[in-house]
Amino acid sequence: MCGSVMIGGEYEIRQPVGVDSLFLDFGETKQYRPSESLPALIIEQETLRCKPFIWGAKHPRHPQLVINARVENAANKAMFQNAWKTQRCLLPVKAWHEWRNQERFEFSLEHQNVLLLGGLYLQAPEGKQHLVVLTQAAANALQQYHHRHAFVV
């Protein structure tokens, strides 16, 4: 489960998403947690754009924010079916965090200053846009920290 991310610095996002490159400057590195507004990349009218989204979406039957969606079954969940088809996004992060026994572990790539995490965005009834981070089952090396982790594109 991805419970916080680090975003900051300058990035040029190129061909991994198959559209024109986009230069991003997020300034000083900052930690983002669920319920906060964070930047994500979407394709809108065939153009790559960076827009703010609130991390976490309200589920109609649960009081807690839904902050993650399992990549293995998000397409089949009523909450994410439409978003899976047309409302995918990428989160440009320096790192993500996992916790074990209240100890934080930070994950990043040694020779890469940006990771693109997969996500889905949803329109809330009040008009705000929210996102959830896609997760996947943890590989062997990461299982000691958590059984799931952010889906890195």
Domains of the chain, earliest start first:
4-150 (3.90.1680.10)
% of the chain surpassing 90 pLDDT: 49
Distance in angstroms (rounded) separating the CA atoms of residues 131 and 146: 21
pLDDT of residue 146: 77
Q: Which two tokens stand for residue 44?
A: 């809108």
Q: pTM for this one?
A: 0.89
pLDDT value at 18 more than 60 = no
Distance in angstroms (rounded) separating the CA atoms of residues 127 and 2: 25
Write out pLDDT tens, residues 62-91. 889 999 999 999 999 999 999 999 999 999
Write out pLDDT tens, residues 34-52. 999 999 999 888 788 899 9
pLDDT of residue 90: 94
Whose tokens are 């899976």? That residue is 84
pLDDT value at 2 more than 80 = no
Write out pLDDT tens, residues 122-148. 988 788 999 999 999 988 777 777 778
Distance in angstroms (rounded) separating the CA atoms of residues 5 and 31: 6
